[in-house]
Structures are given as C-alpha cells and as structure tokens.
Structure 1
Amino acid sequence: MTATAARLVVLLPAVAAVLGLLVARRIDPRAARLVATVGSLATVIVALVEVIGVHSTGPVRALQVAPALDAGELRIPLLLQATTAPALIALVVAVVGWAVQAFAGWYLRDDDRYGTFAATVSLFTAGMLLTVQSADLVLTLVGWEVMGWCSYLLIGHWSRKESARRAALKAFLVTRLADVGFVLGVVILAAGPGSTAYREVVGFWGGTAGCADAGACAAPSGTLRTVAMALLVIGVLGKSGMVPFHDWLPDAMEGPTPASALIHAATMVAAGTFVLAQLFDVLVAADGARWLLAVSTAVTMVYAAVLAFGQSDLKRLLAYSTLSQVALMLSALAVAPADEGPGAGVLHLYSHAFFKALLFLAIGWLSIAVGSTAAARMQGGLRGHLFIRPAMFVGLLALAGVPPLVGFVSKEYVLSAAEAGASEGGRGWLVLLAGIVTVPLTAAYCMRAWLVLDHVGSADVTRHDSDSAGVPVRTAVTVLTVLSVVGGVVVFTPLLDLETHFGWLLALVSLLLVVGAGLAVRTVPVDDQPDPATRLFGSARMALFDKGFGVDRLYVTLVARPVLKLADLVTFLDREVVDAYVRGTAVTAYWAGKGGNRAHQRERAASGLAWVVAGVVAVALAGVALW
C-alpha cells in the first residue's frame, strides 16, 4: 500500500495536468475545473494513505519507478522513497495544491486561459512531489526543472501585460543561471560513487552510513565535496530567491494570486530546503558550502524583512516575507549541529506552507472585493468580511510567530538550532543574531498589514463581491486556517524526525520582541493616515522600498547590461568572424558557378545555332534538288 501510494502521489497530478489540458482545449474549458479539483483532492487522499502506511507498515527507502539506466560507469537507479519526512511534506504539498486549485477555479472563473493555468498548476505540483519523493538525484533534477519551467508559465500567465512577460522572463533567466550550479553539483556528487541514488551519494561523500564497503565510501577529496555542495547551494539560492538572486521573486507577483500562493508556500522556493535536508550529512561535512548558505540566508532574512515593512503593495509585502521566511528555514540547515539533523528547517517548511498559502489566498480573495492589492486601496478592506477577517488574522499571527500557532513553533525550533550551532563557531552566531533581528521586523510588518486592512475609518470602501466565493473556496481557506492554528502539534507526533531541542528562554525573548515590535507600530500617531509605513517614511521613501533600495537598477547595471553586451559581442563574432568563412565559401561557389554556367550556356547557344543553320541549308538543298 505504501509503495503504491508513493508512486501515485506523483503520478496523479501529472495525469491531471495532461488530461486537464486536453479537456480544456478539445472539450469544454469549464470541465478543466473539475479535472483539476478532483485530481488535486485525489492526490491529498493518496498522500494521506502514504503517511498512514509509513507509520503503520514502516518506511520504504527504495521504490523502483522504471528500469535502472546504466551509462558507462554511472548507474541511475530511478528510485522513489516513502519515509517519514518525504511522506509528511508530500501531504503538505498536496493539501496546498488542492487549496490553490479550489481557489483558482473561482478566482479565474472568467479567464479564457483558466484551463491552461489549472493544468500548469497540476504539473507544477507533480514536479514538487517528485522532488520530495525522489531517492535519486536524476529524478530530483527532473522535478526541479519541471518546477522552473512551470513557474515561468504561471508568472507570465497574463502574458498580454508587458510587466508579466518581463517578470516571467526575469524569473526564468535568474533561476536558469543558478541552475547551472545545481546541475554541476549533481554531476560531481554522482560521479564519486558512480550512482545517482541518494543513499550511495550520502554514503560516499558524507561518511560510511549505509555503505557495504566502508573503505570504498571514504570521500576522496574534501575540497571536491565542498565545491560540489557549494554549487548545489548556489542552485538552491537561485530557486529560493536568496541574495544575490532575490530580485526575481517580488516581481513574480505579476502572476495570478493562486500561482503566487503555490510558488511561495510549498513548492519551488521551498524545494531547495528539502533537497539540502536529504543531503544534510554531506552538507555538514562541507564547511565552505555551509558558510555560503549561512551568509546568504542571514543577509536575506533581515534585508527582506526590512523591505517588507515599507512595501506599498500588500501582495509584494507577502513576497518579501517569503524571502525572509525561506531564508530562516534554510539557515537552520546552515548551522544545525550534525547530531540534531535538518529537522528544524523541514519543520519551518511545513509550517510556512500553511500560513503563507492562507495569507496569499486571503489577500487574493480580498482583492476581488476592493479591486486592488495596493495598501492605499485595501485600507479597511477587512471590515464587514466575517469570513476573510479571522483567516487573515490567524495568518498574520502565525507569520509573526505568536504562540501557540504553527509559525511560533517552527520559528523557535530554527532559533534553537542556531543557538546550538553558535557553540560550534561564528556561523551559528551570524544566523542567530540575524534571526533575533528578523523576529521583531516580522512582527512589525505583520502589525502594519493588519492596521491597514482593519482600519475602521476606511470601512466605507469595502465591497462584498467576495461573498460570491463558493463552498470549495471557503473549505480550502478554513482548512488552511485550522492547520495554521493546530499544525504545531506535529512536534509531539512521530510524523517528523526532530532532534533539535526547544529553547524556552530564547522563546521568551522572542515573544517579548514580537510584543514590543507590535506595540511600537501600533502606537505610531494615526492622524488621517492609517498606514504606519506611510506616516513614518512618506511616499517618496516608500518608493525606495518598492524598488528594493535600488537593487533592480543595480541588477540591470551589473548583470543585465554586461550580459547583453557580451551577447552582442558573441553575435558579432559569430556572424562576422565565424560565419565569414562560410559566407565567403558560398559567395565564391556562387560566382564560380554563375560564371561557368554562363560560359556553358554560351557554348550551347553557339553549337545550337550552327545546327539550325546547317539544317536550313540541308532543307534548301534538298528542295532545289527535288524540285
């Protein structure tokens, strides 16, 4: 049962993607909604069966999905796995995927390309589930690239808008550039043991665990291992939107809100966390790669939290919040001691999926009512909405890390992992200090968002178009709300291998910082402006926040323009130097052929004329003789 469920949990959304696309194009676009919803719900059921199977009959560490491939000295076994963490995260991804499909069916009900969107969401979900369930680097790479391609399509769904096309292209180019490192890292890791199976790779590079021959499993080069993991980390940083690859993720808000919920909550940006968790024993042994990860995540979590507070658009606020929270979960892998494992990072991936999906869907729902996601337009938007208001309240509390919600539990485990890592050196202190600074910043922008959305004086702007949402939408939002409240109990169950201790003193300090930051924002003088950020910074400085403090311009100056210049140079050399020989040969052949052809034609014309004259003479002589 467990093995079958593990295979089906990847296969079902993939089949739903193909079937949904065929139905939308050849039968009835409205039928695509049924295919997407049923397919996603079936995936949730199968994922739940897998979780139950793992804990009732035991985990399955190697599931063959196709005949193994032998490529010379490299063996590609093409394995899936059904173990504790993959089964739990697969269930989380399936639940979020179902919620997104249910919401998208209503949110995009009048979109003429809804069928294509729903099919892409299904394929995106299948890619993430393949990455989670994979026990083979090649299958991981397949799922990784499927998500990258689907993200391009989802971000650029409204491709009639130039801004959506630009955002999709930026996301594609930045993540593709980083993926070069990911692919090279996979190649090096697989080349060592001559296999792409996780068990063989971890045994070879990380130690002798799981190896039949301990001598054969000794890593031949610590430097090469560090290089391989650093390249893999670069790929993860790009996919997750960490500094210096962060600029594409806020622009991805040009896509429909359901796409944002899927990308930000439980799929692409969080996929790297799970990949590195699978290779944690190798990462622990690669100190240079961990330093790279620690520095990038520490900078990102603080920088993104600061930018989130000053965003003039609340959807972009959530985007920068994602950057900060993903940095927090990745930082746990950068500093957690080897004996504590990657559990804290995986736990924050689990919790972030619920409250971030909830927040994106609630903002999307509310934007239908007020007609925008701009903070100025959404002021007081929650007033009168008895269903959206508590959902948004719970989501913001979970994001801020207020106990006992799921965000508080996972955040404190990450900080505890950083505290434990601080005893091993400066890397742990770097992440711990960045995390402590991020805690009040997160509470501050959550409080700011709530004050804007719940402002009493702006209640007259509220419309009630959102009340038309049907039962599937309300059910999805309710499920995510409940999970955001009670999801933290997972730490008391065997559903997650969590060795990290819980630091009660650090939790108390964190809670005091949250309360203090919330009160500080709440007590900013109101006057006639309910937005604390606008009152503090003014519209001119708010524009700097929207522009990421000029990082987009820096990106264009230092990356985009040099790359374009380089592309122009390559094009010139290709056309004017490399192709010059080919064109020269063609021109020579042309004129030589043309000249020879003319001479040949003149020769044929002259001989033909002689024969005509001779024929005329012969006819004349014959006529005279016979006459």
Structure 2
Amino acid sequence: MSALLLIVVSAVIGVVVLLTRRWAVVVRALAPAGSGFLALLAGGAMLRTQAPETISWLPSIDLGGLFLPLDLGTSRPLAAISFVVALVSAAVQIYSTWYLRDDERYPVFAATVALFTAAMFLVVHSRDLALTLVGWEVMGWCSYLLIGHWSRKESARRAAHKAFLVTRLADVGFVLGVVGLATSVGSTGYAVVLRLWAEPTVCDAYGCVGPNPVLRNTFLVLIIVGVLGKSAQVPFQDWLPDAMEGPTPASALIHAATMVAAGTVVLAGLYPALAQAEVARWVLGIATSVTMVLAALLAMGQSDLKRLLAWSTVSQVAIMLSALAAAPVILEQQPGEPPAVGVPPGPALAIVPGAALFHLWSHALFKSLLFLAIGLLGVIAGGTTAALLRGAGMRTRLGRSAFLIGLLSLAGVPLVVGGFSKESVIDTAYQGASQGGPGLLVLLALLVTVVLTASYSTRAYLVIAELIDVTAPVEAVGEMSESRRQRRSESLDPDGRGAANAVLVTLAVLTLIGGLALALDLFDLHGLSWVWTLITVLLIGVGAGLAFALGRAGDPGVRFAGRRVALFDGGFGADTAYRALAKPVVHLARIVAFVDTEVIDGYVRGAAVTARLGGAVTERAHRAERLRTGGWLVVLGLVAVLAVGVFAWR
C-alpha cells in the first residue's frame, strides 16, 4: 500500500498547504516535514519491495466496450524511482524555505510542488493507462504554474505559455496513442494491453498471427511523440531551457525527477510492446540520437550556466530514452500468476532494460544537486551568467564542492553514480547493436555525447572556480536586476542558509555513493563492462582536454561558440522556426475569425436589424394615437371579407 500512500499523502499535503497559505509559518513547517515523511516512506518501500505487486484501490469501471481496472502497482525498480522522486521533492521543499524566503507566493509554490510530486507518483505506480494519462496531464499543468511562478516577469509568462503550448501539442499524440492501445483490446489495464500488444506477429504463407504490426507501430509512435514533447526531445527541445525563468528549486524538480523523466517511466512500462514495434524503436532511436548530440553542443556554447544545465538535461534524458530504443530484445516467461479476468496467458514478454531506469535514478540525484548548487552560487554572484559566476565558487567551499561532485557525475566519471549509469546505457546500446535496429546509431551518438558532456562540464567548473578569464557577455538570460540582487543579498545571508547547506551535503553524499543501487540490485543490471568503462574514461579525458585547450585564452564556451554565442543562447533559432511554423496557422485563424465575425455574424446581425425594423413599424402602426386609423382599417377589412363571401356564394 506504500504506492497508494505516496500518492494520497502528497496530494493531501498540497491541498492543506494551499488552504493554510495565509499562515506562512505553518506552510514552512508543513511542506518540508510532509515531504520528508514521504521520502522516508518511499525509502522503506524501496528496501522492502521484492516481487512485483498490483493493488486495486478504486472500484473498476466498465463502460461497456472499455474496462478501466484503475490498478496501481509496484516493483523493485519502480519503488527505487519513487524514492528518488520523493527525495528530490523533499530537497526542493526544504531548500525553498531559504531560497524563496522573501517570496510572498511561496505557499502556492509549495502546494504546487506537492501536487506535482503526487502526479509523478501516480505515473510511476499506475498500472492503468487512464490513470497514467491523469498523472501525465496534472504534471503538465503544474509545470506551467511553476515555470510561470514569477508571473510579474513577462519572460516568465512567455516561458510558461511556451512550455504549455509545446507540450500540449505533443500530448495530442500521447492521448491518441493511449486511446488506440486501450480501445483495441477493450481495457486500459497494462496487463491486458501488454498481453495482447506484446505478442510477436508471425507471418507465413497462410497469413499472419498476432497483433497488426501497422497499428502497433502507429499507436506507439503516437505515444512516443507525446514523450518527446514532455521530455523536450527534438523537435520539441526548445521549451525546456526557457523554463529556467522559473525559480531554481522548480528547475531542480522539473529537470531532475519529474515531468521530463516521466516519459522514460511510461515507455519502460510499455516496453514489451515497444520491443516488438521496429518502426517505433527507430523513431525513438533517431530522435534521441539527434537530441543528445545537439543538446550537448548547445550546452557547450551557452553564456548562462543555468541554461547550460538545462541543455544538459535535454541531452541526459535522451540518453535514458535511448536505452529503451537500442536495448537487445530478451524474452522472459512471466511468473505463473493468475492472468487478468477474461484474458488467456500471454507469451513471454521482453525484459525492460534496467539501464534506462538506472540512469533516471542517477540523473535525479546529480541534476538536483547541480541545480540547487547553482542556485546558491547564483544568489552569491547575483545571477547565473558565466560572467557573473566567475569565481563565485571561491566564496563558498560547499557550493564549489557540491557543484564539482555533480559535474563529475554528469560527465560520467567512474565510481560516482553518473559514471555507473551512463556506462550501463552504453553497454546496453552495444549489446543491442548486435541485433540490428537503432543500436549502432545510438551507440555512436552516445560516444560523441560523452566527449561533449565532459567538455562543457569542465568548462562550467573552470568558470565558477575562477581558473579562467570569463569574457562572456553579461547581458545574458538569468541576470538579476540590481534592486533584486540587493534585496536577495540582504534576505539570503550566509547565516540563514543552514537548510540549503544540509540539502546540498545530503545530495552530494548520495551522488557519490549512489552506485550502491548496483549492489542492492534495484534495476536488475548484470554488472558493467570494464572495456566500456575504460573507453568512457578515455573519451572523458578528450573532452576535458578540449575544454582546457579552449580555456587558455578565456571562457571555453565563448571560444567554442565564437561570434555565434547569441545563436547558441537562442537554441540555433528554434524560436524562429516555431514562429515560422505558427505564422500560417495564425493567418488562417485570422481569416476564420474574419469570416466568423464579418460574414456569418453579418447575416445574423442583418436578420436582427430586419426584425428590429419590422417591430418598429408594427409598433408605430399600433400606437394609441393611431387607434382611429386602425379602426377604419378593421372596418375596411370586414367589408372586404363580406364582399368576397357574397360574391363567392353567388
């Protein structure tokens, strides 16, 4: 029942915090305490969970042609994901009591974080596509609120609207895919969907047996489109860096353990069906391969280090998803459990590659650490541009150390959690390449990304440790106004950030020892390849060496981007492409609006004018002063009727 408790308690915390928002002292105690309780509960569940379990917590719904079991479930990997989600949420809630101390809307922020976390728990533990869709949509709504939290800023409002519109556009595909998978089998339950859609299609001279491969690929490609949108993958990649307009704790939550990582959980749940859909795997493999390299290139040339971390998130999420696209298909007979009602036992299902979920776990730890560390450094420096952050790490040993540990994990250095997880993804792609499919493409993209990631990670540390002369322009995204900088420096003094320091220490330690997930066998990984570990180390060395070479005469990012820093900051013109695509739609909408208001409404208004004129004439004819004329008209009418009657009788 831990899964149910996580969802319900987190949602209740959000509602209670919202109801008590007028009492900030209560909120500052309730939100961190509640999130801490959830982290302990999720940690205990992770250690206790062994075999997969399913629970029915709501009465099922039978709509005639569609059955909704509304089940929740858990397994050892899902319990581990829930723990890291709860941990990051608790870290964000505790950190926010310091970071948003002078924010009058902090209670609303805390309530939204709690509801966001509940939605992610629902997605993780849902064993029903309808419940998955509910959690998916609630996360989209909460992300809009968190990104636009500082709604008095036009840039924050624009970023929130952009995130909402882009992800909603992609969600059209997600909804259609869910509807297609569910209605084709008459149930939204994962058990039924997978038993029927995960069966291989076998064709011979007499025909084909099994699911229609065209429909299976179509429905899964539609779901992948929704995942690409929520996870900020090409062609939907540009909304996530703009989401940096939200508070840093919100960025840590969205980027580390919720929303952008939710697609990995959903596709992992549907992986047995995805493994049989070759076209869908190629679509996912091509999108993630392009995304991880493109985002790493963009990260290297950013003039703002917070946006650098945002682009690194886009790249790292692509690495997670690529494991699902490139993994070898290994079938395993399911345990002899009673099948779903009315469904015969199905075939052996493909094993979900643990590398994808392990990298999600790893990324949640080190990326939350990086965002919260740069939040501290940004407060000290007055902004997050490279120019403002120059040497900021030298003014806080904890901030500098935490940032370094996070960057080592981001770069994939062995013995820290990011090194273990990234090497497991590379090994998975290598094994998948032997079976054909997108494995080889993904493997090559991963190796290039390792070099680029090591390079921009080295660059970020060189900037904050003042080991180079930063020449990046100060007028970049993320700079605070002078008044805001002064106000925050007064309210966020070093003596008042004990909670933030505790959070950074905890996350740094977990990032260093997170590889124990392998020892606990949380993700069913079968060891790591020392060959690929050695190759990864060599590639990291190449990337770091490139950053040092470029940094001899200034910021490596500025040297790398040259005079095109603004182009890198703009995501290679993605906004321009969005506008170009939207322009015909806007023009069409204006034409439709003109036809509606000036043509269709014109007929309606004309009819109204005619009726009004007719009414005026009739009213004038029946006024009291015209009564005599009316009387004569009545008499004349009677005479006419009598005349007609007489002549007709004759």
Kept in 1: contact 2:326–2:437 (CA 8 A): no
CA distance in 1, matches of 2:624, 2:288: 79
Q: TM-score, normalised by structure 1?
A: 0.90
Corresponding residue for residue 66 of structure 1: 58
Q: Is the 8 A contact 2:301 2:560 kept in 1?
A: no
1:354 pairs with 2:365: yes
**Matched letter for residue 134 of structure 1:** S
Structure 1 counterpart of 2:547: 521
User: Is the Cα–Cα contact under 8 Å of residues 561 and 568 in structure 2 kept in the other structure?
Assistant: no
Unaligned runs of 5+ in 2: 201-208, 331-350, 471-484, 633-650
> Could you give the per-residue CA deviations for residues 238-291 of structure 1, whole angstroms, max 9, x where no partner exists?
000000001111100010100100000000000000000000011111111111
- Who is 1:572 aligned against? 594
Tell me which amino acid in the other structure corresponds to 2:511: S
Is 2:281–2:325's contact at 8 Å kept on the other side of the alignment?
yes
> 2:301 corresponds to which residue?
310
> In the aligned structure 2, how far is the partner of 1:602 from the partner of 1:431?
90
Partner Cα separation in structure 1 for residue 496 and residue 588 of structure 2: 51
Query: In 2, distance between residues paired with 1:202 and 1:173?
Result: 31
Q: Following TM superposition, by how much is the alpha carbon of 1:49 offset from its aligned partner in structure 2, in angstroms?
A: 2.9
> For the Cα contact (< 8 Å) 2:146–2:246, is it kept in 1?
yes
Q: Tell me, in whole angstroms, the C-alpha distance in 1 between the residues paired with 2:25 and 2:629.
A: 76
Paired amino acid for 1:513? L
Picking from 281, 284, 292, the partner of 1:301 is 292
TM-score normalised per structure 2: 0.87
Aligned residue for 2:343?
A: none
Q: CA deviation at 1:556?
A: 1.3
Structure 2 Cα separation of the partners of residues 563 and 468 of structure 1: 54
1:555 corresponding residue in structure 2: 578
Answering whether residue 260 of structure 2 is matched by residue 269 of structure 1, we say: yes
Residues of 1 paired with 2:210 and 2:165: CA distance? Answer: 34
CA contact (8 A) 1:206 1:219 kept: no
For the residue of structure 2 that corresponds to 1:24, the secondary structure is coil
Contact 1:50 1:82 in 2 (8 A): no
Cα deviation, residue 223, structure 1: 0.6
For structure 1, the residue ranges without an aligned partner over 5 or more in a row are: 209-217, 611-627
Alignment of 1:158-169 (within 5 A): 158-169=150-161
In the superposition, relative to structure 1, how do residues 450 and 457 fare at CA in structure 2: closer, same or farther (>3 Å)?
Answer: closer
1:70 offset after TM fit, Å? 1.4
Instruction: Report the equivalent of 2:412.
Output: 401
Name the CA distance, whole Å, in 2 between partners of 1:469 and 1:544.
Answer: 39
Deviates further, 276-285 or 474-483: 474-483
Match of residue 38 from structure 1: 33
What is the rounded CA distance, in whole Å, between the counterparts of 1:221 and 1:576 in structure 2?
Answer: 49
In 2, Cα distance between equivalents of 1:600 and 1:344: 87
2:218 is aligned, of 221, 227, 235, to 227
SS for the counterpart of 2:21 is helix
Q: Tell me if 1:326 matches 2:321.
A: no
Letter in 2 for 1:520: L
1:458 and 1:524 map into 2 onto residues whose CA distance is 12
1:512 maps to 2:512:
no
1:29-428 matched pairs, under 5 angstroms: 29-55=24-50, 58-61=51-54, 63-207=55-199, 219-339=210-330, 341-428=352-439
Moved more, 154-163 or 78-87: 78-87
Instruction: Give the whole-Å Cα distance in 2 for the aligned partners of 1:71 and 1:593.
Output: 52
Q: For each residue in 1:4-39, what CA deviation from the matched residue of structure 2 results, as whole angstroms up to 9, or x when unmatched? A: x221100111111111111114xx123222121112
Q: CA deviation at 1:410?
A: 0.6
The question of 1:532 aligning with 2:536 is answered no
Question: Does the CA contact (< 8 Å) of 1:127 and 1:146 recur in 2?
Answer: yes
1:546 corresponding residue in structure 2? 569
Q: CA deviation at 1:221?
A: 1.2
Q: Using the alignment, how far apart are the partners of 1:81 and 1:603 within structure 2?
A: 83
**Structure 2 CA distance for aligned equivalents of residues 201 and 578 of structure 1:** 47
- 2:323–2:356 Cα contact (<8 Å) kept: yes
**What do residues 586-605 of structure 1 show as CA deviations (whole Å, max 9, x unaligned)?**
33333333332332335765
Misfit runs of 4+, over 4 Å: 456-459, 462-466, 602-610
- Cα shift at 1:560: 2.3
State the alpha-carbon separation in 1 of the partners of residues 614 and 528 from structure 2. Answer: 84
1:579, distance to aligned residue in structure 2 (A): 3.6
Whether the aligned pair in 1 keeps the contact of 2:300 and 2:560 (CA below 8 Å) is no
Q: Give, as a single letter, the amino acid of the residue that structure 2 aligns with 1:221.
A: N
Distance in 1 separating the partners of 2:59 and 2:629: 72
**Kept in 2: contact 1:41–1:98 (CA 8 A):** yes
Partners of 2:11 and 2:139 in 1: how far apart? 12
RMSD value over aligned CA atoms? Answer: 2.3
Distance 1:158 1:432, change over 3 A: same
Does the aligned pair in 2 maintain the 1:264–1:322 contact within 8 Å?
Answer: yes
Distance in 2, matches of 1:468 and 1:219, equals 66
Structure 2 distance, partners of 1:419, 1:458, is 40
1:436 paired to 2:447 = yes
Name the SS of the counterpart of 1:80 in structure 2: strand
| Contact preservation (8 Å) 1:383, 1:456 | no
In the other structure, the counterpart of 1:589 is 611
Q: Deviations over 1:116-155 (max 9, x none)?
A: 1111111111111110011110110000000000011110
Contact 2:18–2:108 at 8 Å: present in 1 too? yes
Letter in 2 for 1:93: V
Whether the 8 Å contact between 1:12 and 1:42 is mirrored in structure 2 is no
Of all paired residues, the percent bearing the same amino acid is 52
Which whole-Å deviations, capped at 9, do the CAs of 1:526-572 have from their partners, x for residues lacking one?
34x3x22224444x321111111222212211x22222222222322
Deviations 1:388-440 (A, max 9, x none): 11111100000000010010111011111111111122511110100000001
Does 330-339 or 170-179 show the bigger shift?
330-339
1:365-400 deviation digits (Å, cap 9, x = unpaired): 111111100000100100031211111110000000
Distance 2:36 2:617 in 1: 74
Q: 1:172 to 1:514 in 2, by over 3 A?
A: same
How big is the shift at 1:444? 0.1
The one-letter amino acid of 2:289's match is A
Give secondary structure in 2 for the equivalent of 1:81: strand
Q: How far did residue 478 of structure 1 move? A: 1.4
Where 2:24 maps in the other structure, the secondary structure is coil
Q: Look up the match of 1:473.
A: 500
Instruction: Give the deviation of 1:522 after TM superposition.
Output: 1.5
Q: Any idea what the Cα deviations from partners look like across 1:444-499, whole Å, max 9, x if unmatched?
A: 0000000000015889xx99965234333222211211111111121222322335
> Where does residue 447 of structure 1 map in the other structure?
458
Residue 302 of structure 1: CA displacement? 0.2
- Give me the whole-angstrom Cα distance separating, in 2, the residues matched to 1:536 and 1:104: 35
SS, match of residue 241 in structure 1: coil
2:274–2:280 Cα contact (<8 Å) kept: yes
Tell me the amino acid that sits aligned with residue 509 of structure 1.
Answer: I
Following superposition, the deviation at residue 173 of structure 1 comes to 0.2
8 Å contact from structure 1 (residues 182, 236) kept in 2: yes
Q: 1:525 to 1:165 in 2, by over 3 A?
A: closer
CA distance in 1, matches of 2:47, 2:321: 28
Q: Please tell me whether the aligned partners of residues 375 and 452 of structure 1 are also in contact (alpha carbons under 8 angstroms).
A: yes
Task: Indicate the SS of the match to 1:142.
Answer: helix
Distance 1:390 1:477 in 2: 10
